[in-house]
Structure 1
Amino acid sequence: MIEVMAIVGPTASGKTALGIELAKAFDGEIINGDSMQIYREMSIGTAKVKQEEMRGVHHHLLDIKDPEEPFSVAEYQQLVRSKIAEISKSGKLPIIVGGTGLYIQAVLFDYRFSESQVDEELRNNLYDELEELGPEHMHKKLIALDPDTDIHPNNTRRVIRALEIMLGSEEKVDRSLALKPMYNELIVGIDLPRNLLYERIDKRVDSMMAEGLVEEVEALHRRGIRNVQSIQAIGYKEFYAYLDGKVELGRAVELLKKHSRNYAKRQLTYFRNKLPVYWIDGRVDIKDNIKKIRLIMQENERGRRIELIGEQKPEQGK
């Protein structure tokens, strides 16, 4: 029996809609699998599910942190495993929906944390920022956090590493245990042709702009929230640069689209290399994909029964 399901895929691939339909079909509840959707007051830029889109399905771990608060993969792991136990106890199916691969992997597999590995998403965001704004900008950002730093501005690797430590709540994982599953899980990934995915990303950004993304970022900017983990997120750092007068609005929108496309590529690479994903075609009607997922679940259950029978057979000669 499947104990936990996860719906993964790149940004704008349709995870939210599929997750809700699956929850309706299999009597499930959804657990947020996006590291940025945990933040309050950051709904448009993180593409957080709207109340009317939930269709009565219970969603967990949305809006649990203020933008100024740090959040780590180890904390996420603890919270989600607790939610999985709670949802399972109520007789419902826990369904993790999101695109933060490391976080989801840390829940479903035997990741054990001690003090000090950086959030991969934070690192990627910092390198995107370095590419767009240059070493001097990154060094100034570090000085704002650590005025006593003696790292040279041209030593970009050390600058980025120092920023990771300052901005992220670091954790160290024992990777020798990281492939051992914690549950009988099913991970479903949504696949789309690259050109269609990029088209969806561009349309999503345009929709975010129409919904008031700039105003959402401006509200955070006015409060003086900066140099914290949440503001490194794609969708926020680009408009901070605009509000700080470093880029024009049109350029900020272009950068958001570019960074989102780059992030989608990184997500796909992570899911394909790190997780045992059953891929489905995102162009197919959701109802047909649910039928396919139901068949996968049935095959999984048959396979587990055969394994159990094999384990219970007495050894020859005994």
Structure 2
Amino acid sequence: MDRNEKIPVVAVVGPTASGKSRLAVEIALRLNGEIISADSMQIYKGMNIGTAKPTEQEMRGVPHHLIDFADLSRPFSVADYVSLASQCITELHLRGKLPILAGGTGLYVRSLLQNIQFTETDRDEKLREELARKAEREGPEVLVEELKSFDPESAERIHPHNIGRLIRAIEIYRTTGVTMTEQLERSKQAPSPYDSCLIGLDFKDRQMLYDRINLRVDLMMKEGLLREAKEVLSRPDSQTALQAIGYKELLPYLNDRCTLEEAVERIKQESRRYAKRQLTWFRRDANINWIIIDETMDFDLVAQQAMQIISRKGWFDE
């Protein structure tokens, strides 16, 4: 491939428990690829079961990148992800490997593939601590309301429980006078260096997805999620874990404020809600090629459809 041509990148996206990791591995095996995670929680060490990190067996010998490398105490931004993932893609391409993104963090995928440029903004640690204390005392809604007053688009876009992102949006405006929304618009002006093929997984019957989510949570509990949550939440730097589904819902049980059954049901409920938000996000992207799974489709048929979508790019034509 000519150096001036765009780098081919496959991205497998969709809601939690839809089978993204398995499909990405299958594509990698067939097309000499390696996988770059696009999951904002799988980057952290120690959070294995709750974030559904692929096991060695599930990886099937395919190298995975940007998984299990960051400390919980380390701040990690979208800009950090784009920087590291861009380096990964370049290195894989130079080695003749097909880079394959796999994950459900839509902001990571979009920011990377659209080559959004992040300007360096000084961190105001005093302000961040002040806002964090405010959210702890009065609830995250107080941050949402403040953000709405000068950047309603970001207030709508950022989930109200993502306190770190809310704080960052307020911090950017207070330190630069420019809203996060305006920064994002400015950052989209550079062309992307990637020729991307996006494959999305969804289900014809939403209940089929919800059943998969419920089953996954049950399996996580059998694999030791409660023990892992207890270890992670007992750490002084557990604030990051409290943003992850599967950990914060177990905290009331660990503090004797609910039964284990109630806590597990809450994990399932929050996971289903998260899946709905992921689908809402990804459906706004007209570039995604959707594979709609129903009860008659086995994995081989899903993989076959994915390969047909990729083949239309013409990357591997003689």
**Same fold? TM cut 0.5:** yes
Q: Distance in 2 between matches of 1:72 and 1:86?
A: 21
| Counterpart pick for 1:73 among 63, 78, 97 | 78
1:132 aligns to what?
none
8 Å CA contact 1:30, 1:96 repeated in 2: yes
| Counterpart pick for 2:298 among 285, 294, 303 | 285
| Counterpart pick for 2:143 among 144, 158, 169 | 158
RMSD: 3.0
Q: Distance in 2 between matches of 1:300 and 1:37?
A: 30
Q: Distance in 1 between matches of 2:85 and 2:251?
A: 31
Q: 1:251 to 1:3 in 2, by over 3 A?
A: same
2:215 aligns to what?
203
> Which is higher, the Rg of structure 1 or of structure 2?
1
Q: 1:44 to 1:150 in 2, by over 3 A?
A: closer
**Counterpart amino acid of residue 260 in structure 1:** S
Aligned sequence identity (%): 41
| Counterpart pick for 1:92 among 89, 97, 100 | 97
Q: 1:214 to 1:20 in 2, by over 3 A?
A: same
Question: 1:71-220 residue pairs with structure 2 within 5 A?
Answer: 71-114=76-119, 145-146=132-133, 149=134, 153=138, 156-158=141-143, 164-165=163-164, 172=180, 173-178=183-188, 181-192=192-203, 193-220=205-232
Q: Distance in 2 between matches of 1:155 and 1:49?
A: 32
Q: 1:2 to 1:150 in 2, by over 3 A?
A: closer
What is the count of residue pairs matched by the alignment? Answer: 276
Shift of 1:298: 3.1
Q: Distance in 2 between matches of 1:36 and 1:88?
A: 25
Partner SS state of residue 247, structure 1? coil
Q: Distance in 1 between matches of 2:131 and 2:226?
A: 24
Q: Distance in 1 between matches of 2:45 and 2:20?
A: 21
Q: Structure 1: where are the runs of 5+ without partners?
A: 117-141, 305-318
Q: Distance in 1 between matches of 2:44 and 2:60?
A: 22
Partner SS state of residue 189, structure 1? strand
Q: 1:145 to 1:92 in 2, by over 3 A?
A: same
**Counterpart amino acid of residue 249 in structure 2:** E
Q: Distance in 2 between matches of 1:145 and 1:30?
A: 35
Q: Distance in 1 between matches of 2:140 and 2:247?
A: 26
**Counterpart amino acid of residue 233 in structure 2:** H
8 Å CA contact 1:72, 1:169 repeated in 2: no
8 Å CA contact 2:16, 2:104 repeated in 1: yes
Runs of 4+ in 1 over 6 A off after TM superposition: 159-163
8 Å CA contact 1:15, 1:190 repeated in 2: yes
